[in-house]
Structure 1
Amino acid sequence: MEDGGVPRPPEDGVPVPVLPAEVVSPLLAELELVCDIWSADAHMAREHARQAATIAELARRRSASRDAAYGPRGGPGPDSRAMRPAALADVSDDFVSELAVIRHCSEAEAGRLGAESLLLTTKLAPTWSELYAGRLTVRKARILLDLLGDADEEVAAGVQARVLPGAEACPPGRLADRARYHLYRLDADAKERRRREAERRADVHVERTADDLGRLVIEGPLPAVHAARDAVDQYARWMRADGDDRPMGVLRSAAALDLILRPWDTSRPPVTAQLHIHAALSSLRPDAPAGAAPAELDGQLISAAQCRELLASLDMLNLGSAPTGGAVHVAIDDPATGETLAVASRAELRRAAGLGRRIRRRSRRGHPAEATGLSGGAGDDGPGLRPPPPTRGYRPTAAQRRLVTARDRHCRMPGCRRRPGRHDLDHGRAFAAGGPTACWNFCCLCRRHHRIKTFARGWSFTLLPDGRLIVRTPSGVSRHTRPPGWYHDPEPDPPWLDDLAPPDPLRM
């Protein structure tokens, strides 16, 4: 380390943080280091409390009365109301979206943080005070939030009065046990109420794990979950008895997926699973190098090798036969910018290239001439591919919907990753104001964010010609998104952003 405590960059170029030389000395007792750790914990707790108070104040300014002005179409849907925390019942439905844009986080995180902030500044005000004083860590505060968030105010006050005095010296696990003990003594129905609330919020979701694997999580009543697991285990043991020598964990995984997908069942209408894959053509070649560019499957990156295995298993690489119950569409991207120019099926690609096209010539007398074979031999006289043309109607055509969905891949709201199939194609410039029904004037918005754009007060959505969607919240925060895979040079900000910039003292 150089004199003065400036860290010297190591060989890999990453600096190593160190304390200044005058601080690191034999005279510095280890107790002082311990005190610095305690001080950092107290500062983090105080800043969390300050943030909670600020978020709660913004939430109170976003009253739910804002939603009522737009009628039932402007209010939240049944799924949104069912999953909404009770602490946000009196807050406008678009507040969570605004907080997510402000913090650049997901709406799930923003909703949790908004509910915690309101609870900490109302029913759990004693907990907020201990947090602000630095006597309670953020983790301990969240333990009390989880247990007392749905309790009555009197019960919450009674539990806090019993557990907060000794909470500073109490480990988190012990604090949770103490809070749960007093909660169940003061409110005998609390445990059953929490169980019913958890069942009401049960869902199925996917978690990404290491090495291009995923975990399908099915939430449900504990007895039913155990029964399902035992059934899967029994099927796996039957597979082992039939001679399958793979590990039992792999057999259980295969059995569970087969029980859901049921590839052997032809007695009922098939359920077609739609997979959206984006991959470079060079990565799909059999001789692709080991370091080929990864592919994207429903918004998740997978290796090029795994993508080739998936396409081969679905028989999608064979142009001579179409897979049962599905279709393959290829997106043609500009190699320089990544902009999606066209989307076509395999048959459309062949026609565009002039392959397999049969032309019938007619004589002057109207009799058909002999049909030709493959025109052009090498297929270089085809009409080519073009983006779907604009239409005069309000609704997009099937070709337009196909291209925009493949281009955007998910909702374009900053932080939202809802997949295609749950989207509305929204005009960037309103159709009523002269906006054309063209691909460049469309972007994908999920139903929730489409409703916010149309009905919520103070929001601004601007779709620029370069593909950027700029979203401005009622509080003046702006974020922008581009279609995935687009790589444009930075463009100037829209003119109205200049109004938010502080005045330049040099120009005054």
Structure 2
Amino acid sequence: MTRSRRHRRSGRVPGRDAPWSGQDAQWCSAPRAPKVSYPPRSVLVMTTEPRLGVGLAVAVVGPRPEPVVDRPSRLSEVLDPAWLDDVACAGEMVSVNRLRAALDAYEVGVVARLADLRPDFWELTDTPGGPAEGWSPVREFVGVSEFFVDEVAAVLGISRTRAHTVANTALVLVGQLPATWHALADGRIDLARARALVHVLGWQQPEVPAEVIAAVEAEALGWAIAGEGPCRLQDRTAALLLERDAEAADRARKRAEREADVQVHGRRDGLADLTVTLQPDIAAACRDTADRYARMRKTDGDDRPIGLLRTLVLADLVLRPWDTSRPPVTAHITIHAPLPALVPPQPGADPGPPTGTSAPSDGPAGEDGAGPSQPGTVGG
């Protein structure tokens, strides 16, 4: 009662006529609960303004949030495979295979479009630095820049050999085998079977009529959709093409001869494989020669394995270390030239001073103390 008379005497009601003071809180507040120490958590505090001597504060304590990682959502998180049974797993595998084929078909279209955007009209074959035919063992795509394959390799982060396969598949499917491309986009075949048809039916025109290619493609697609394996599909398609066109085998052999090459493939054990593509009789003669010389060394008392001796003999026959007629030193000359020097002069432009004469210069010499460079001929 004493505390009530004190307020009536002052005429002040806490929370209405004056701000809430610490002195008022000492006698008007409810008994405090014992202080509880929580572990570090995510705390959200909601506070209301005190009215009529009552103030409310609510603290929502939740678990600690996971650290934020800036990455796209994974399919295994959105579609958790742990909830699938055996039937659902089989269905998902079929769906993934179809989606993969559709993505491969889309990539084929994108690569073919990039080839259209890289024409070869900038390539001057008759000027210094221009492309020269016969220096590449693989097929050169007509009408496409020589750097197109290198660009595909840089974009996809793959080797140039694989990039050439990607480019060849795209150009053949889009331009020559559209039915196979559509079957790949529909998920009825996979990329391996599509490449088997590309290997046999690609670049056959104009030697083979278009209607013959279309008929062989239609029948081969039926085999591919039925589940024929890529290797067997390629053999059956080649045999079918040979039935429709007797000269197809001879053209394929000549094309393989043009694309023959010597390649080196690295191995994980530190060695390397030297692959030489030859005609069967020449390849057999080379192997027989290496074997006979290796057996001669074996007869002379060399106890190393016969296979190792064959490789050493073949290397000696190629490198010819006993041949002293060649110069002992081989030099590689690298010539650095400005890009304008690779372009023919424009009509009406100043041709410059003749070869072997110095050009007048009004400016100082270069940083190395030499005057302007003089044009000349390589090796002259």
TM-score category, normalised to shorter length: 0.5 to 0.7
Change (3 A) 1:134 1:424: farther
Matched residue, 1:184: 242
Matched residue, 1:50: 106
Q: Deviations over 1:3-57 (max 9, x none)?
A: xxx9xxxxxxxxxx988997425xx332321222222221121111111111111
Matched residue, 2:163: 110
Contact 1:56 1:117 in 2 (8 A): yes
TM-superposed deviation, 1:426: 5.3
Which residue identity lines up with residue 134 of structure 2 in the other structure?
D
SS at match of 2:263: strand
Matched residue, 1:204: 262
- Establish whether residue 100 from structure 1 lines up as the match of residue 156 from structure 2: no
Change (3 A) 1:174 1:108: closer
Superposition pairs of residues 7-406 of structure 1, within 5 angstroms: 23-25=81-83, 28-68=84-124, 72-73=127-128, 75-80=130-135, 83=137, 85=139, 88-152=141-205, 153-168=210-225, 169-266=227-324, 268-270=325-327, 325=328
SS at match of 2:128: helix
Contact 1:427 1:437 in 2 (8 A): no
Q: Deviations over 1:268-321 (max 9, x none)?
A: 325xxxxxxxxxxxxxxxxxxxxxxxxxxxxxxxxxxxxxxxxxxxxxxxxxxx
Give % identity.
32
- Establish whether residue 425 from structure 1 lines up as the match of residue 331 from structure 2: no
Cα distance in 1 for partners of 2:230, 2:158 equals 27
Contact 1:75 1:93 in 2 (8 A): no
Matched residue, 1:468: none
Cα distance in 1 for partners of 2:334, 2:158 equals 20
Q: Deviations over 1:322-373 (max 9, x none)?
A: xxx359xxxxxxxxxxxxxxxxxxxxxxxxxxxxxxxxxxxxxxxxxxxxxx
Matched residue, 1:459: none
Change (3 A) 1:428 1:106: farther
Task: Mark the structure with the bigger radius of gyration.
Answer: 2
SS at match of 1:216: strand
TM-superposed deviation, 1:191: 1.3
Q: Deviations over 1:89-148 (max 9, x none)?
A: 021233223333333333333333222211111111000001001111111111111111
Cα distance in 2 for partners of 1:108, 1:216 equals 16
Which residue identity lines up with residue 425 of structure 1 in the other structure?
H
TM-superposed deviation, 1:216: 1.8
Q: Deviations over 1:379-400 (max 9, x none)?
A: xxxxxxxxxxxxxxxxxxxxxx
Which residue identity lines up with residue 201 of structure 2 in the other structure?
L
Superposition pairs of residues 495-506 of structure 1, within 5 angstroms: none
Cα distance in 1 for partners of 2:336, 2:126 equals 22
Which residue identity lines up with residue 139 of structure 2 in the other structure?
P
SS at match of 1:166: helix
SS at match of 1:210: coil
SS at match of 1:72: coil
Cα distance in 2 for partners of 1:131, 1:40 equals 14
Change (3 A) 1:73 1:428: closer
SS at match of 2:134: helix
Change (3 A) 1:147 1:421: farther
TM-superposed deviation, 1:195: 1.1
Which residue identity lines up with residue 181 of structure 1 in the other structure?
A
Contact 2:262 2:274 in 1 (8 A): yes
Cα distance in 2 for partners of 1:223, 1:235 equals 19
SS at match of 1:249: helix
Cα distance in 1 for partners of 2:108, 2:333 equals 33
Change (3 A) 1:164 1:62: same
Cα distance in 2 for partners of 1:199, 1:260 equals 21
Once the two structures are overlaid, the 10-residue window that deviates more, 102-111 or 161-170, is 102-111
Contact 2:138 2:259 in 1 (8 A): no
Cα distance in 1 for partners of 2:153, 2:334 equals 19
Cα distance in 2 for partners of 1:192, 1:21 equals 53
Between Structure 1 and Structure 2, the one with more strand by share is 1
Kindly report the root-mean-square deviation, in angstroms, between the aligned alpha carbons of the 2 structures: 3.4
Which segments of 5 or more consecutive residues in structure 2 lack a partner in the other structure? Answer: 1-65, 67-74, 342-363, 369-380
Change (3 A) 1:222 1:245: same
Change (3 A) 1:105 1:47: same
Matched residue, 2:12: none
Matched residue, 1:296: none
Q: Deviations over 1:169-227 (max 9, x none)?
A: 22223322321121111121111111111111222222112322122222211210111
SS at match of 1:215: strand
Which residue identity lines up with residue 58 of structure 1 in the other structure?
L
SS at match of 1:78: coil
Contact 1:123 1:157 in 2 (8 A): no
Matched residue, 1:462: none
Cα distance in 2 for partners of 1:21, 1:99 equals 33
SS at match of 1:143: helix
Cα distance in 1 for partners of 2:333, 2:211 equals 42
Which residue identity lines up with residue 154 of structure 1 in the other structure?
E
Change (3 A) 1:108 1:190: same
TM-superposed deviation, 1:428: 9.7
Cα distance in 1 for partners of 2:131, 2:79 equals 58
Cα distance in 2 for partners of 1:75, 1:155 equals 38
Cα distance in 2 for partners of 1:24, 1:92 equals 49
Count how many residue pairs are aligned between Structure 1 and Structure 2.
270
